[in-house]
Homo-oligomer: A and B are copies of this chain.
Amino acid sequence: MEKLSRYQQLIDARIERTLFEGKPASLYDPLNYLMGLGGKRLRPMLTLIACDMMHGDINKALPPALGLEVFHNYTLMHDDIMDQAPLRRGQATVHEKWNTPTAILAGDLMLVKAYESLMKSEGIARIKILELFNKTATEICEGQQFDMEFESMDEVAVEDYLKMIELKTAVLLGCSLKVGALVAEAPESDADLLYDFGIYTGIGFQLMDDILDVFGDTEKVGKQVAGDIISDKKTFLLLEAFRLANDAQRAELNKWIGNPKAEPSEKVTAVKAIYDELGIQDIARAKADEYFKKADRLLEAVNVEEARKKNLRDYAVFLKNRIS
């Protein structure tokens, strides 16, 4: 874990040093504000870990790693407008603190700055990284649009939900790992294995997140328990519950879900009761484990000494412990 702390320090220091400067200040301040709100910096961590694993020079991986973090923050800035979210990491969102036009434009600038940073890689890796990034950014837009579409749909298939979270969140983890492997000039086959490791791990994490929202303890989660239930979010849990419910259970779910008059705590209690009857938590945990196991097998197949894989394994465990 010693190396992991060192990476984290490197990334945090780099982000602190990277102030976006330009005029007018009202355009640049939101970028520095959002980047300064912190976070795990998961994506650049994955880039550095993968680069080092594949015998690369992590100093060369730092600029594109930073680009991926900037990109992630741009998606947060625009998603928060679309979701009309008032808070991000416990602080006012950019569109709340400034205004929506500024948040749109500052987000746009942030996407350009992400490209700028991703271009600071070298040699043949540079074009490959940019091509992968174009594909990834496209998929993330698709995932976000699917997510918004699902809100107004009566029925969503579990497979469509899984595809949506793959696009919306998992592909960026896969991309982050592959960028590290590309900087290290690793063979394409290993880079792809790491990409897929990121995809499966990402879906697994999202499923854990869904579980945690309903069954986690408030203090650890740091947000309202079962917010997903209250807001009728079509998570894996809810979709599975609808799929497995008998007529009585389905009627009960329909009584609460999509009912704006439902009293929140009663609604949570009632829906959780059905989740318990159907064993939804165990099903979701088993599903997440399935993804994590697939990810493990992909990592095993990467053609590099076993010892070099330890960092990524440790980091995945560290993240799982944080959220589960």
Q: Which residues of A contact B (CB under 8 A)?
A: 22-24, 26-27, 78, 81-82, 100-102, 104-109, 111-113, 115-116, 119, 126-127, 130-131, 134, 137-138, 141-142, 144-146, 148-149
Contact = CB atoms under 8 A, between A and B. Distances in A.
Contact of A22 (B116, B130, B138): B138
Contact of A81 (B104, B111, B141, B144): B104
Given A26-B149, A119-B127, A149-B26, A141 B108 contact: yes
A146 to B, nearest CB: 6
A109 B141 contact: yes
A111 B133 CA distance: 13
Contact of A145 (B26, B131, B142, B145): B26
A142 B24 contact: yes
A43 to B, nearest CB: 17
**Most B CB within 10 A of own CB, among A26, A100, A101, A119:** A101
A75 to B, nearest CB: 9
A29 B144 CA distance: 15
Given A102-B145, A106-B141, A109-B138, 12 more contacts: A24-B149, A27-B142, A82-B105, A105-B141, A105-B145, A108-B111, A109-B141, A111-B111, A112-B134, A112-B137, A113-B138, A119-B134
A104 B144 CA distance: 11
Contacts of A26: 145, 149
A134 B146 CA distance: 29
A137 B98 CA distance: 22
25 contacts: A22-B138, A24-B149, A26-B145, A26-B149, A78-B105, A78-B108, A81-B101, A82-B100, A82-B104, A102-B145, A105-B141, A105-B148, A108-B111, A108-B141, A109-B138, A111-B111, A112-B137, A112-B138, A115-B115, A115-B130, A115-B134, A116-B134, A119-B131, A119-B134, A126-B127
Contacts of A107: 108
Nearest to A108: B141
Contacts of A149: 24, 26
Contacts of A23: 142, 146
Contacts of A119: 127, 130-131, 134
A57 to B, nearest CB: 21
A111 B100 CA distance: 19
A126 B298 CA distance: 35
